[in-house]
Amino acid sequence: MDIPSSSRDFHCLQLACVALSLVAGSIIIGVSMSKAAAAMGGIFIGAAGLGLLILAYPFMKARFNLDRILPTIGSLRIHPHPGPDHGEGRSSANGNKEEARSSLSTVSRTLEKLKMGSRGTGES
């Protein structure tokens, strides 16, 4: 038994599933008393959003020329600012150790100053 179906029927079925998922998620969130039930409703709404995105992707691809835009978005990288130059003779590991030691000594000096200040206020 072979039932012929067209792409229009498939898209209508997809849209009906999205609508059903939105309605079910909204009802579950609306009547839920616990956070777990509300989270389940959120999953239904998220599934509806994903279904809507899958349904709309071919139209968005044709309209916005996503073949050109998506590789550009994928190639974006965040480049952090390079740290100070440690010189030619030093290795970066030794430089990091020295930076950690200097910051540790700065913290130690600050703690000592705070201790001295609190001792002075405690006696009066």
**124: confidence class by pLDDT, cuts 50, 70, 90:** very low
Pick from 69, 49, 47, 71: nearest CA to 60? 69
Higher pLDDT, 82 or 106: 106
Where does 1-124 have alpha helices with state H?
7-31, 35-64, 66-74, 92-123
Instruction: Enter the tokens of residue 77.
Output: 């990288």
Tell whether the model's pLDDT for residue 44 goes beyond 80: yes
Tell whether the model's pLDDT for residue 54 goes beyond 80: yes
Q: Model pTM?
A: 0.45
